[in-house]
Structure 1
Amino acid sequence: MTIEIVQIVQELSSVGGVESVASELACAFSRAKIANTVLASAVGEKATPGTRIERVGAWLSRIKTRGILRYLGRAFVVPTFTLLATRAAYHHPKAVIISHGDSLIGDVLVVHAVNAQSLAEKRNAGAWSWMLNPMHLWVAVRDRWMIGGLRYRMYVAVSPRVATELQEIYKVPASRIRVIPNGIDLNRFTRDTAAGLNIREEFGIPANAKLLLFAGHEFRRKGLAHAIGALERLGPDVWMLVVGSDNPAPYRKLATTSADRLVFAGSRTDMPAFYAAADAFVLPTAYETFSLVCMEAMACSTPVFATPAGGIEDYLVDGVNGYQIKTDGADIAEKIAMAFSDPVTLARLCEGAHATALNYGWDYVGSRYIELLEQVQASKNEFAPGAMAVGA
């Protein structure tokens, strides 16, 4: 069957979860010899050979959507791009349109997270600062239209948890949901010992120190405070390197005895080198749907210590590729100390992490998308959006 695929994503790059997923899918489609186009306003440096790039609202890429004022920038860029991309989608009537949440119409919607559930988790944790972010109002209206209104033929959930949330919150029929996890570029994410040593040298971290890595742009939701609590309890030979664009000032104050062993790197694009520098990856997050960073760490043979907070529990197995932890510094420190105290155990976890990641290569994940999109294409001319689920 001849099929043409159009992806819609505001930014196509290797920076960020959604952005890199769209980029990797484009590459997987091209390797499968399928004509595919990406509608995006911002395009990163990573090449997507075989993929046609159609810039929509390219001028939006000049507005900053990262850093201190990222919420204001995104509050304008995201809705504007969504409206422009929705209009552009009408120019591809024969294509199967797959959206990452940046178009009000399409055939397949990839749901990376259910924002309503994320906000519920924040409320339960007593966090209310999110109310100052104007993006949440837009996302609530957008999701109610796209998901609650069943505007798409099919919905891809990146984990079983997301599938359950789609059914419970938006009443999406199970027959219209497919669970397809995110994948990993196994060529890019691999352990490069020399690159790891360079990172340690750049930040003044001793080559023989045990290094914990934390990565995420929302320090509070991702549980950085709990990770620092663990660092405070671990020995003087344990360091922590934090990657992310959030404000580090409040978190520096949490490190009293470990202040000289806590390093903030800011936002970086060379993540494989950071994973290679680390002895373990720690993420005491309150809410996730798949957690691409955990899988990236595993691909680089770095064991993961993370909360079973949605999606992570589908692949994180105690004693095999890391350990499930609580949002509690003492619990995290105890499990990390146990692994670090035994070189044999740590080596086994490294091997198990890499073996797990091998099951999430993008060619396999892409093949599952292609199978679904071919089914959508077969039924597209016969049934209007919302009339029938593929495979119902």
Structure 2
Amino acid sequence: MNKKKFEISHLISQGAKLRGAGSDKVSTPWGVGSDNSNLIDLRVGMPDRENLPSLAFAKHISDILESGDVKALEYEYGSGDADLKAILSDPDYGFTDHSAIPDQFAFYNGSSGCMEAFCATFVDKDDVVIVEGPSFPGTVRAILRSEGFIREVGSDLEGASIGEIEEIYLDCVANDRTLKAIYTIPDFHNPLGRTMSLPRRKEIADFCQEREILVLEDTTYSSLYFDSPPPSSIYSISSGIGVLQMGTFSKTIATGLRLGWLHGTAKLIAALHKTRSDLGNVPFIQNAVSRFILSGEYDEHIVEMRSLYGVKCQNLCRSLDENCAEYIDYQIPGGGFYLWLKILGVSATDLVEKAWEGGLAFPDGNLFFQDPVKNENSIRLAFSGTPQDRLLEVGPILRRSFEKILD
């Protein structure tokens, strides 16, 4: 017998439903296309396309495949490339600001894979996880899949609010809830662009250590400073106690590499290995990345990218200041990919729509909050992947969009 209709709503897991599975609602704007070939797309934080190190990687990958080393094409069972782990553990290469042991690193499928592994290993149903509001929405999705309970804290110029963290902790104690972890992006935050101060890092490190609350420190943008590197990491301040550090090559090299890592004490890494079911990350990509770094090409590339992204940020800020100063409020970041703009006088949602009509795309700030009510009428502009000259067009388009709404 052939059924003409097969309902799946009752088959979808609760964790998947919390992430929107089974719903017709569009959950993300990142893949929305446009018929406008001249669109200025500031939706996604991508490395500069014209400066992807394609030729260098082609050579390193070719060398690996021609070497006859079959291990590069086999499962690595979570052990990871020895050379790459040694590189990450050595502070001279700039991936950590402290001495570490190679076996304190585990590789995953980009930062999203790291987040999934963290949640699978440490987050139980109804565990409370604190995130900054706003924060990267992919983080929220991973926590929801594990049926964790998200609590958002606001940020000031110093970083995540320690006062709000304390309030949530006391509320958890009073209601017999487990505050399991705090997720933070302390360096060139996505989407805020801010960098957490050293005193705030110490406050959070001390608070969490005393109460045995995990800290997941996302260092995705830490290497992408324009002039000065960020303060000491929370991991370094805590000597690694109770902290997992997350990193990725997606923003510094290329998103398609899908190579990220978690760094922690031996006990934390051992726990992560126990929950693996993917037989490891891609060995020949790990090997190619290690060769790219050891050759000195990575250092040259990252220095060039820091300068380029700094100029792009300056171009965007100049365009905004010259055309939209009375309509916006923002702080200039010291690195990373993003500008976070508070919109004055009109609805950010209306502005997104009008700008789209004018050939400019960017996300509404609501998308970066679990509770959209907390959004203060903001938008995010990702400048990293857009040509410099096109960034100068952003201000005029935005101004026309403001004027059309106010007319």
Q: TM-score, normalised by structure 2?
A: 0.30
Q: TM-score, normalised by structure 1?
A: 0.31
Considering Cα pairs closer than 8 Å and 6+ residues apart, tell me whether 1 or 2 has the greater RCO: 2
